[in-house]
Every structure is written in structure tokens, then in C-alpha cells.
Structure 1
Amino acid sequence: MASTVAKDQDAGSQMKSKDNISDSKNSTDTDNRHGTDMMQKFHSFLNQSKFCDITINIGGRSFQAHKMVLAAASEYFESMFSGGFVESTKSEIEIEGDGPAFKILLEYAYTGKLTVAEGNIVKVLSLACYMQFDKVIKECSTKLKDYLYDGKILCEDAFTVAMMAKSYGEPVDELLDWAVSAMAFYFSTFMTTETFLADMRAELLEQVLVEPNLACSAKEEEALTGLINWLSHDLPTRKQHAAKLVKMLRLGVIPAAELEKAGDFFDKHDMAECCEILRRIVKSRQPKCGGSSKGADSDELHDMFTPRNIVTAPLVIGGSEDDTTVSYFNKRNVSWTTPPWKFVLPPTGTGKIMGHSSVVVDDVLYVVGGSEGLVHDGCDDSYNDDLDGKEELFLNKLRKYDPESNSWKELAIMQLLLSDFALVHLDGLLYAVGGKGYDGEPIRSVECYHIGENKWKSVAPLKCDYGQPKAVVFNGNILMYGEEVDYYGTPLDSYSLQMYDPVNNVWNKVMSEKYLKSIFDEPILTVQDGECYRVVRQIDKPKTMEEEFESEGEMHVNKIAIKERGRTGRATAVIGKKEKQVPLKCRNAFCLNGKSICVSIRGQHTCIRHRN
């Protein structure tokens, strides 16, 4: 009898189980929008305050919601409403946090849409970590990396992110390095804030002071001043960390007067170990018998005499009437953005610059020639309504940008108005090669600028006309590559390479190649690891401009070998086989054998080294 009852109970439980769980084999998905429609209905109930069973008071504001929706979106609420917590039986609860941030999370729970920007992302992420909104944490973390790197959030917020990463660990621990890097990058500003002086932890400050990025905004003596101000804010508590933090700085590159001031502070407050470190630095600077300085007296002090690392970042300067920005290549997320070090102003008064060339010499950026686009000249152009009353304003100006002083300066003007020309640096001289004159027609002239004397002069001209020539310095000579054109700029279906000998002031054509069924678009010359390469996009010869613009083509990277030929010893160039290449995630950027070989984005591109 008992056995029969047990069987009946088992059967009943199995029936209930079958009633509660849908049979996926026999079910049919009649509406794949069912889940979306259901959430929209819940959102409608929320807006109408229908069937809400919980009120959440947070940050001085009250929000009605449905427990089921909150529990589905957050493990925090799922535990709160389903466990043995007192909140599970209440219809109104108090939570510490930011009201506007919770409103964003509440909206996400009902719609799946996350609305965050630079001004609120840190508060939203902090609350999402606390309330365990996992998908929000992931999305905010991704966006926050870009904001931190591009300087779109305050240093105080970067500090909050760092503390959050230390507190919550795994969900956001990868943000710690980004936050530390951002605080270091803007240290000269950050060290003056109340957040830095009052809230900065010793272990976090140590990470900031050792960061290479510290040199991007603050000199070592400024960082030392910031450290002393931080110590002074709570000297009894922080004094114990002084010696360890002082060792993080490159004391060997700090002027003697600044070290003396710091020594007086440490001596006054009985910081003997700090005084000893400074004494050893000063002693290492003293000259030996031969006249040179002794240098670091131990491996421990060696790094203190070594400047922080220098990195190279490709820059793009303008390029069109609509693009007036200076941007750099962000290696971390493979994109272009405004530089974290702020340029005071664009290189022209209007901000518009196109057809110009640029080069970097000793970490100073030179921008030459180009035009400011179409400007009104007061005249009418009956042939083209788009050009009515406008003319292109060409430039012959030379400007330089110095990252140290964060300013532009005008130098000697060129002899000609030029655009779309090549610019290279060789032995203290800038060479402006070919290009177009003010009338838009190609010219063969080559001008040379002496950096030390601030003067331009003409040198030997090219052997023929080119459309947008490209040039590099290779083995003490200048190589120039481009498409040959006639007097009016019409292509002649051939490319050639010329080589300039600065000693004899002569150009020689060392290579020429014809194309019949295809053309080379946007050719580039580049020198990497002592080898010269040509980079081109080869496309089928288009019938229309639209076909040329839409064609992807095939990228070619070829090594160029310069050889001597015959008794005259005249040089010739040979194009080698196609090299292995791997494109980066941006237009016309390439790697050769894993190394960056060239970057050609809109406008004029160059590279500038910045302290990092």
C-alpha cells in the first residue's frame, strides 16, 4: 500500500515537473520578438507605475521598480529579494549610492540600453560594480579605457577608478593600469588637486611616480614638488613612505637648486634616509679627476640618472577644409584621436590646412607650405558656382611646434607658394621637393632650408614633373618616387625614382616603370631598419573617378635596392619582390614583419617623439 502511494506521489511530482518545464522538442517559436515585446511592456508598466512592488531610495531620490526585473539584471538584487534578507519582504528599501547613476542602471535593466558619457561613466561603473550589473561593468570598462587614455575624464575620476579597481578586483582590475597611466600623464594638474593631497594612497602614488607617462606633463622637479606637498599634507602618517617614494623619481636629472630645496625639507623634518639619497646623487654629479662626472655610484641609483622613455607616435595634421585638427595614432586601441598633450592652436590662423608637408627634427615638428583651402576673393567665377567668389589661399610659411613650450612659431618663408610636395630632413637641412605651385600646375623646383641659419635657398631641380611626389633619406641621399605628369598635371602612365646627391647637388633618374592595365594609388616610400621600401595600392585602371575611389585594390610592399652600374658608376634602383605585410586596423597602415612600416591617413602624416 505504502509502495503504491509512493509511486503515485512520484508520478504526481513528475507531472508537475512536466507542467513547469516546457518541452523544447514540441514547442514552436511563433514570435522571435516575444522577449523584446515583454521587456517593452515591463518598461511601459514602470513608466505608468503599474504593478511596481519595490521602491528604492538612493541618493536622495526614490525609484519604483519590479523586483523580478531587477533580479534578472543584477545578482545583487537577486540575492536581496530571494534570500533570507529582511529586504525580501519589504516594499521600500534604502541603498547608499548615486541617484542619477542608479536611474541609468534602472533604464538599462528594462531596455538593455546604456547611456553613459565622460561626465557620469565613473559613477555608473562604481554603482554597477556594487550592484553586480555584469554587462554594464564590461561595457563601461571598455569605454573608460578610451576616456582615460584620451584625457576625457578628470584626474580625480581616474583616481576613483584606480581605487575601485583595487576594491572590487576581478571585474575591473584591468582598469588599474589605465587609471595609473592617466594620473601620471596629467600629473602636473593632478598633483594640485585636493583629491591628490588628501586622498592619494602611498602604494598608489608609488605606481604613479614610476610610470613612464609621468614625463608627458611634468618634469622630474615638478614631480618632486608634488611629492613633498603630498607628504606635507599629513606628515606624521606619510613620513614613513618618503624614502621609498623618493627613489621612484629620476633625481639625477633634477637641477641642483631643486635638489637643495628638497634636501632642506627632508632635513628639517628628520628624514635621514631621504637626505642620504640626495647626498649620493649630488656626490655622483661631482667631476672626477678627468673632468667628467662620476655617474651613479651603484645600480640602485642608475635609473635615477636615466630620463624616462621616449616613444614615437604618428601624427595627422589637418588635411581638408573640414578637418582642422591635429591627431595622433593611439597604439593601445588602434585608432586616431586628439593628442593627450594639448596643442595650443593649429598651425594656421584659420585652422584649415591641406596639401602641406611636415617633418620632425630633434622632437620639434615643422609644418611647411600647403594651403588654407578656398577663401572669398570678392570676385565671381561664372564657370563654377561652387567656386563663386573664392580662390585657394596657398602658403609659403614654415612653422614649428615645440612640445616643451607647447607653442607654434613662424620661421623664414619659402621662395615659392607650394602644396602637395615632399619634405625630408638631411644633415640639418629641410628639402622641399617638387609639388604644385600657386596655379595648381606641377613644378620641378627643390628648396632647401638651413635650420641653424633660418634661411631658404634653391638647389638642383628634378628631372621631370611629378604629381604628389614622395621622398625619404636613404644612405646619405634623397630618394624621390612618384607618378610622372606633363606640364598641366596630366598623368603620363609611368612612375619613376630619382636620387639626389647633396655633395654634387645633382638629381639622377635611377628607375622608371610603366603601367598599362593598373595604376599605383597613394605610393609611399619608407625606410625601416636600414632598408628602403615602396608601399603602393595597386588597382585596375579605372574608367571613372567613382571606380577609382571604390576600388580596394591590392597592397604591395617592395624593397628598393640601389646598385652601381657600368664604368660611370651611375646608380640604378631595382624593385624587389613583394614583401610580407600585415595591415593594421586603420586605412592604409601597414606592418612589415611585425613592425610598423608606414601610416598614410587623411591629410599630412608624420611622427613626433614625445616624452613618455
Structure 2
Amino acid sequence: MYDVTVTDIILKFLSEVYIFAINWSTVMEHLLDIGKPGHALDLLSKFNEFRINQQYCDFIIKAGEKEIFVHKCVIAASSEYFAKMLNHDTKENMLGKVDLKHVDPECVMTCIEIMYTGQAYFPIRKTEELMYVAHLFGIDKVCDAMSLLLEKNLDVDSFFDTRYIADKYFCQQLQEACRSFALDHFHSIMKTSAFKELEFDFLEDLISSDDLNVLDVIKCKASMIWVNDDLDRADQLFDLLKHIDLEKIPVYYRKFLSQQPTVAKSTEYMMQIMKSLPEKSDLEASDYKGDCTPSIIMANPEVSRLTSFDIDRKSLTEQRHFKYTDSMSKFNAVVVMDCYIYVIDINYDLYRRNFLENDSPWRKLGCAFPRYYIVVACKSGKFYLANDYPNRFLAQYDTVNNKWSKLPNKQPKVVWSAYTISQDKLYAIGGYDLFANFVRDVRCFNFSTSTWSVGPSLPSKRAQASACTYNKTIYLLGGKIVNSDSDSEFDSDSQSESEYVNDILCLPFDESIWTLIPVKEPELERSKLSTYCIGGKIYICGGYCDDFQPCSSILEFNPKTNLLSTMIDLDSHDLKSLNHEVYAAAITM
């Protein structure tokens, strides 16, 4: 058994006293805060004052003929370059001086001022030189700040220099910003002389991107501009053009491409072009001038004049040179294909004129089938019209051969469906049945087999909506619905019980269920509307906000962000041609 001695008792007592003393001293400590950020700023400000007055300086930076007196502790704390230099027995550390070659003295001074104060003014013309010095010194915060500044001021004029800086100094965020800018402003960038100097990999990345929201003809034109600047690039032309859908390029420009020596070098692509051309066409081969920007052509049944909305400039213009001839009546439908605008007047006479030529006359092509109600879709030199009353059929007009034909009747017969073309099929979505009841059915016409089939049904019965296709996805916008718990396609749901909807439905080509996209602001509630997909955005115009009030705004829907915005309010423009219902619309290139 262990005996406790007096010594043990004394030692235990002393240890407890020691622990108590330690704890007591800790309890008695207090934090004295004199203002951490303010103190740091005051200290740095004092160091800068010492630098300016050359007090307590222990190092000299020479750039050109300029000598800058600094403090080792400040520059070592701010710059990775100087920290490594002054942390060892280098010649510069021993001498207390460094002689910098091939650097801009003004930019060196700017970096020193930033080290001491956190900010400095610099000439815009020396952006690249300053980035070089900041990168040399390893001042990441300056490089990051420069990148943000360049990104903020990015425009068409500065794009190429900014991208050069981003690539040279591995500014990843700035590289992504330049790529995004190029995708958003491709049409403007391709018009610059510096565009021809782009490297192939970057140009192919842009043209092949799903985020490039320009027409295929513009992609093709850009590829030709780039290749024709250096004929040694001809072998790379096919690698660019393989990302372009020939069917979406106007026939006159495809003919032009077939005559180009650079295109002829690619036997494979030349065969594709020749195969895509119609057997007969009165269109002459012509280069794409790009004079017409993406626009929406609008008209109404009350006047004989068209109005265009320039999407890029967000401007509305009354097209006086589009005035109809005296022999033409008020119109019934309008569509644009290739370089032509087609009009069917209320007498069912079909007219055409070249909208690229201001002096081009209207040409009467003959008489269309009677009682056309709406232009529903366009595809490969053909457009399709729905004749809902009294015969209910779809008709096809071949613009190359000036020939009308009927498509096989769809069953069951439905009116006021929404139409769009996706994956070589014409979709007829929703509408009214023979008894004016809403339906949710979707019918698909296969152009290859000339047969109708059943598609994925809508989640609710809908009519008077509009549909368009973007990136292999069908979008159904607006219209009216009848809420019903029944699964039957043909319940007795009358139009009088309908309500306007403020949502968008979408159907990817490889899925069988429609997805709902809610819309907050602005309101989409309108029926009998027109929708067009231009450059990756969906534009909505015309239609009715209630049973008697035409809608006066043009809306833009971005499928990538699911955001809806107002482009322009027609009521705020004094245009006589839009004082009535916008009856039809079409897009131009």
C-alpha cells in the first residue's frame, strides 16, 4: 500500500496553486481593439508617406532611368516576385537594388503605388504593359482587378486586344468573358478586319457552339471570310461548314457557294451543296451581303403596308418600299423565305418580291387555295398553311416550283392548333374539335412517309396557342386552356369556359412528357399569337390579350434562362400601320 507523505501533499498543493494562478491570469486578460481595418490603413498610409519622402527606405527598384525607393517589408508582403528575391542572399538583396529590364517605368510605378495604397490611375493605352508588370511581380490581385476592368469595358473594338491579353497571361475568367462576348456579338465581330486573324480552333469552337445565336447563313459567311483571307486555310473549310445546316441557308447563297474555288476543294461538301439545291429555281447565285439584320415583319388586315422590327437595334420602322401594288388587296397571310417576302391577299392571290432590293417589284405568282387562315411553318423552300374553315386541311406551297398541294388530312379534324416543324415532322398541337371543344392531342406529320401519327398529349386542353422549335425542343406558348379532371380527349369543354394561360410548355425531341415553365413578368396571357425563333431567342407578337383587345407588345423569351422580357410596346409608337390587329408576321435574315 502506498503511503502518502508530507512531501506529496506539499507538491499537490503547489500544483493546484500554479493551475489557479494560470487560470486567474487568463481571466484577467482583456482585448484592446483600436480598430483593425483603420489601423492597417493608417499604417500603410504612413509607409507610403515614408516612401514618397524616401524615409527608412532600404531598397531601390530601377526601371529605365527611373529609380523608385521602397521598403523591403512592403514589397515582399505584396509581391511574390520580390518575396522570393528578398528571402535569399541574392545579388539584388545584398546590393539593396534591382535593375528591371524591358519593363515600362510608368507601369512599375503604378504597381508600387497599388502595393502601398491599394489603388492607382493608369493610362488605358498601357493596359497590356501593366498586365505584364503585374504578372511579372506576381501580384494576383492586380491581375484579377485588371481582368475585371477589361471585362467591364469589353466591346467590339477592344475584343481582340482583350482576348490577346487573356490568352497571354492565362486569365481564365477573362478568356470565358471574351468567348461569351464573341458568341453574343458574332455578327459584329465578323465584320472587323481582325476577325480574319482568329485561330481556327477558336473560330470552330464559336461556330459549333449551341450558344451561338446567329443564322446559319451568317456562320457560313463568316467561315468564307476567314478562309478566303488565306487560301492555305481551304483545307479547314469543311471542318467549319460541317457545323452548319445547309437547309437553313438561302438557295441563292448555296448556289454562290457551289461556284467558289475554296468550296470546290472539298469534294464531300460540294456534293452536299449540290444535293441540297432544288432541281428548278429562278434564283440566281448571289453572295450574302448581310444587309438585312434579323427582323420581324408585321402587318395587319386594315392597311396595305408592312412594318419591320429590328431585333438587334430594338427599333420599329414602317417599310414604305414594301407598299403593295394597286392590284393587291389587303393581305391574308405573309411569310419570308430566302430573299423573298410572300403575301397572300384576301382574294387569295399570291405575290412575291425580293426584300434585299428596294426597287424590286411585286410579282403575282397565281392564286392560292381559298380560305387560308394562317401560315404555320416553313421548311426547305416550302411553307405550309392551315385552312381551318370549312374544309380543314393543310396545304404546301413549293416556292421553287410555284406549286400548291394538299397534305393528307389529319384525323381527328381540329382547328386553331399550334404548328411547328421538329426533326422532319410537322406537329399540330391542341386546338378545337368539330364541336368547338378544347383538345389536348398532338398530331405529327412525317414528311418522309407522308403519314400522320399521335404525339405526346398536352397536360391540359389548349387552343389558340403558338409553337416553335429551338435546339431540338418544341416550345408551346400562350393560348387558352380548359381545366378538366377527365382523361378523355373530347370532353364537352366549351370555349366560353376557357381562360388565358401565362405559362410555356416545352417538349425535348427525345422525351414524351411536356414540361411546364412558369412565367412571372411580363404576362404572356394572349391567344392567336405569332412566335418566331431567331438567333436562339423566341419572339412573341400579335394576338389578343382578351377576346376583343389586340396585344400591343413584342416579347422575347430566352430558352436558356427561361426568362421573358418586353422588347417594345407598339402603343408608344405613332405608326398608322399598327393601329389595328397585327394579323401576321414573318422573319427576315
- TM class by shorter-chain length? 0.3 to 0.5
Q: Using structure 2 for the length normalisation, give the TM-score.
A: 0.43
Q: Using structure 1 for the length normalisation, give the TM-score.
A: 0.42
